[in-house]
Amino acid sequence: MSWHPHLWHPTTQVATSPEPLRVARGRGCLLELQDGRQLIDAISSWWVTLHGHGEPSIAAAIGRQAMELEQVIFANFSHAPAEQLATRLAALIGLERLFFSDNGSTAVEVALKIAWQWWRNQGSDRRQVIAFEGAYHGDTFGAMALGDRSIFTAPYDELLFDVARISWPHTHWGDNGVEQREALALEQLEQALAVPTAAVILEPLIQGASGMQMVRPGFLRAVQERIRAHGSLLIADEVMTGFGRTGALFASQRAGIQPDLMALSKGLTGGFLPMGVTMASERLYR
Ligand SMILES: Cc1ncc(COP(=O)(O)O)c(C=O)c1O
């Protein structure tokens, strides 16, 4: 086994990393390597495999659909599976409109574009976007700009637009300082919102990529209250938290917030296919 001469692996320093493990097949939470060893996929292949590897019902549904229609241009055409998904997700999430894209980053980009254009359509010049310290929203340029800066974004810094950055008062059992940190973050948010703000984006309840940093539901409700008071929009990036990861189907529901826009991917296809959707309120669609 060695590094393949033609593959380029993401977030991997080839000079210092061990050679990749070659996977032959997956079933449930187990991966079988080509040399016969079995591993537990404890990261669900970067949080996408919510239903396990090789889940037969998903494989069969994809097979059936592929024999009928694999895809069709979506401008001026529609089809029953898309309508079914939109109807079901709208009812589950309480955001009426579904826009398709192809991964978590683009679902976030679409949310930002919808928010931005919504203000432009109304002749408003709201330009500021607010995001949180430690946030990760993806690796396309807009998503990178929204995420906190890191060694992965450093080479592109001059291409990334500015956002106002608020501290993320993550907490843990026995944390005595959380109230103080929440108050500080809310104060920073109030100050930032004094500048006309197009949207605020956050990962509800838990930031994944920055190391499972959890905030309390009450903090998110207080954030939402302030956003509403300033007439701005709330974008929930549920690419990681969506589809049951926090106990409720969506972390926003568990936290008791109702965003204006929601980005979804990962669990949406259980890792079988790349797909993202952005859910938007009817108000924004209109
Ligand atoms: C919260 C969050 N947003 C966006 C993304 C980007 O998703 P993708 O890798 O599908 O572009 C991720 C990926 O880990 C994520 O965790």
The answer to whether the CB of 208 is under 6 A from ligand 1 is yes
- The series of mean pLDDT values per 10 residues for the chain, 286 residues long, is 88 91 97 98 95 97 97 96 98 98 98 98 97 98 97 96 98 97 98 98 97 98 98 98 96 98 98 97 98
Out of 108, 239, 264, give the residue to mutate to test ligand 1, the one with the largest number of ligand atoms within 8 Å of its CB: 239
The answer to whether the CB of 239 is under 6 A from ligand 1 is yes
Give domain limits for the chain.
78-285
Give me ligand 1 centre to Cα 104, in Å.
Answer: 5
Give me ligand 1 centre to Cα 221, in Å.
Answer: 23
What the block records as the tokens of 280 is: 């938007």
Give me ligand 1 centre to Cα 257, in Å.
Answer: 21
Taking alpha carbons only, the member of 238, 235, 284, 230 closest to residue 265 is 238
Give me ligand 1 centre to Cα 135, in Å.
Answer: 10
Question: What is residue 267's DSSP assignment?
Answer: G
Q: Which CATH class is domain 78-285?
A: alpha beta
The answer to whether the CB of 136 is under 6 A from ligand 1 is yes
The answer to whether the CB of 240 is under 6 A from ligand 1 is yes
Give me ligand 1 centre to Cα 136, in Å.
Answer: 7
The answer to whether the CB of 135 is under 6 A from ligand 1 is no
Give me ligand 1 centre to Cα 68, in Å.
Answer: 30
**DSSP character string of 127-158:** -EEEEETT----SSHHHHHHSPP-TTTGGGGG
Residue nearest to atom 8 of ligand 1 (CA): 104
pLDDT on residue 1: 58
Can you tell me whether residue 3 is helix, strand or coil?
coil
Give me ligand 1 centre to Cα 106, in Å.
Answer: 9
Contacts with 279 (C-beta within 8 Å, 6 or more apart), sequence order: 89, 90, 93, 95, 97, 98, 99, 261, 262, 264
